């Protein structure tokens, strides 16, 4: 009777005895080889077996980004957010993809949600790996969110807000040379030459070649 039950189970499942996690791992292996379309097919199977498999949606979303299917990626992250509305990684990645689609206002809205999921902009908590939970896998450092939101603010001409976010990045030690460069660019747009040149100089000192060009062309004039 047990053999008969096993045979029937195999027939019903179409001989597919792999678990969702096995499909996920195989998908990761293909991602490492940059075989993104093949990886997506395996992740489809993982999700078919477990429609609540957040890691599979996140991985499939990343693969869709790699093939420039940004709307498809947003859809996958939306499925994660249905399961976990405060999933920082899904919120952040959604913002990134709206930014790639030049929908910067929507991008900002999702970056705001991502920061809120970490406790807010003033007091936020970055998760660290530990033996008790894998929630750090779904986290994004606040500095990364500030940086991407700063770029999105540039896209909608919210220059003061963009400047503040780049300043936050400097304070947090994230992409400091690039952040100073953008702060200089924004200050130049406001015709604040003193602040602009200070920022370009600091960026140049950190090795930013674009800042060196701006300092030479803008700051050294009429001096």
**What is the fold, at CATH topology level, of the domain defined by 18-83?**
1.25.40
User: For residue range 48-101, what is the model confidence (pLDDT) as tens digits?
Assistant: 999 999 999 999 999 999 999 999 999 999 999 999 999 999 999 999 999 999
Could you tell me the residue ranges of all domains in the chain? 18-83, 85-165, 175-223
Mean pLDDT of 155-162: 97
Mean pLDDT of 7-14: 50
User: For residue range 177-197, what is the model confidence (pLDDT) as tens digits?
Assistant: 999 999 999 999 999 999 999
What pTM, to 2 d.p., does this model score?
Answer: 0.87
What CA dihedral angle connects 118, 120, 126 and 132, to 10 degrees? -40
- Do 89 and 138 meet the contact criterion of CB atoms below 8 Å apart? yes
Distance CA 192, CA 105 (A): 26
Percent residues over pLDDT 70 in the chain: 86
Cα distances from 216 to residues 172, 201, 220, in angstroms, run 28, 10, 5
User: Which tops the pLDDT comparison, 133 or 28?
Assistant: 28
Of 125, 123, 121, 126, the C-alpha closest to 111 is 121
Percent residues over pLDDT 90 in the chain: 81
Distance CA 212, CA 223 (A): 16
């Amino acid at each position: 009777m047990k053999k008969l039950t096993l045979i029937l189970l195999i027939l019903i499942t179409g001989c597919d005895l792999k678990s969702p996690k096995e499909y996920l791992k195989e998908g990761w292996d293909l991602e490492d080889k940059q075989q993104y379309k093949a990886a997506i097919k395996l992740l489809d199977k993982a999700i078919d077996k477990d429609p609540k498999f957040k890691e599979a949606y996140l991985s499939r979303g990343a693969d869709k980004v790699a093939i420039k299917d940004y709307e498809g990626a947003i859809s996958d992250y939306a499925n994660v957010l249905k399961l976990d509305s405060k999933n920082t990684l899904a919120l952040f990645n959604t913002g990134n993809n709206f930014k790639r689609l030049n929908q910067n206002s929507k991008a900002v809205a999702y970056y705001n949600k991502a920061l809120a999921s970490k406790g807010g902009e003033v007091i936020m908590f970055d998760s660290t790996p530990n033996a008790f939970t894998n929630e750090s896998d779904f986290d994004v450092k606040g500095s990364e969110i500030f940086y991407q939101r700063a770029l999105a603010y540039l896209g909608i001409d919210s220059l003061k807000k963009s400047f503040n976010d780049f300043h936050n990045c400097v304070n947090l030690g994230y992409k400091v040379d690039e952040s100073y460069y953008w702060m200089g660019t924004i200050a130049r747009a406001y015709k604040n030459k003193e602040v602009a040149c200070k920022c370009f100089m600091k960026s140049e000192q950190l090795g930013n070649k674009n800042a060196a060009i701006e300092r030479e062309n803008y700051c050294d004039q009429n001096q």
